[in-house]
Amino acid sequence: MSYDLGVWFPHERLSDADAGKLYVGLCEGTADHPRAHPAVDAFYKELTAKHPEIDTVPDDRIDDHDYCPWSCALDRSPGHVIMPCVWSKADYVNGLIRELARKHGLAVFDPQAGRISYPKCAPSSSAAPKPGNKPWWRFWR
């Protein structure tokens, strides 16, 4: 059993139901990937610097879930990341993902609850959108 979360840049606001359909489509490979955004890559790089992908973990650390909490490889495109973690690390990973997503201005979908959460503040300058690529929640400039 795993605990999963998905993140993507909120180019548009989705309802919980529409976010759920997108998430399932991404998992099944039947949905188009969300549009690319540099914040997704920045999120992924920061996340995997802290907890590397499971395929890169040395054999002697494969069961060290503090080092790598993932239950399988992360599903990633330039527009999204889906992260399945071992159930015993669910609380920790939930907090970490939400913190990093907030930092990078990403939406978080929790398929266990069927809810999407949107950033409450603007992303850091390193994750700021390029001109013409503003998120729905950023109405200034």
The string of pLDDT tens digits covering residues 80-128 is 999 999 999 999 999 999 999 999 999 999 999 999 999 875 444 344 4
pTM: 0.83
Give the domain range for residue 33: 2-127
Q: What is the pLDDT of residue 124?
A: 42
Residue 74 domain flag:
yes
* Residues whose CB is less than 8 angstroms from the CB of residue 45 and which lie 6 or more positions away in sequence, other chains included: none
Residue 140 domain flag:
no
Domain count, the chain: 1
